[in-house]
Amino acid sequence: MRKTRLPGLLWMAFIIELRVAATSEEVYHRTEGQTLIVECPFTVWKYPNSRKAWQRLTDGGKVQTLAETEGTSRNTTEIQVGKYLLQDIPIDGMLRVKMTDLRVEDSGLYQCVLYQPPKDPLVLFHPVRLVVTKASFSSPGPGVNTTHGTDVIGVSVTGILTIVVCGILSKSLVFTALLVVTQRTLGR
């Protein structure tokens, strides 16, 4: 009886971990006037010609599509709608979203999606929580060098994905080791 329960519990824990990793938000903090760049990866061989979009999720649960690509080319295409620039890069499996001249009103929850009719759109990346604050113009004390507040250190999506995948793999290795040790301890 114990032999069948333990592997099942380990698999259930692994699946829960995958779901938590897949539904977490990425939070970006910016000040007014800055730019947000988000890279949303997609499977190249499966969705190269699909339409993709940048959407805002309202508090009421409604989805507002802000800009979308045509999805008809295997070449890089760009679409600009106001402050939103979408670059569909099929060869790299990447949708790059750029929001310029951010304002406090831009704060909210966003997502990259891929249209796959007749199914619901597929969310390509973690939902993005954007928090935009007013720029503070307080003067620093004497002897402090100031720079423009628009320089932002970026972290590549590949780096983040590598960390997530390594974390998931390391947890699965721990679960596997626990399974082996438990089975040997129980003499099976």
pLDDT at 45: 73
Decide if 41 is inside a domain. Answer: yes
What is the CATH number for 33? 2.60.40.10
Per the listing, tokens 């949303």 go with: 40
Range of the domain at 83: 2-136+150-185
pLDDT tens sequence across 124-163: 988 999 999 998 765 555 555 544 444 444 555 565 655 6
pLDDT at 148: 46
Nearest to 95 by CA among 22, 58, 44, 132: 44
11-17 contacts at long range (C-beta below 8 A, 24 or more positions apart): 13/175, 14/171, 14/172, 14/175, 17/168, 17/171
Decide if 143 is inside a domain. Answer: no
Read off the pLDDT of each residue in 58-67 and give the average, rounded to a whole number: 91
Q: How confident is the model at residue 117 (pLDDT cuts 50, 70, 90)?
A: confident
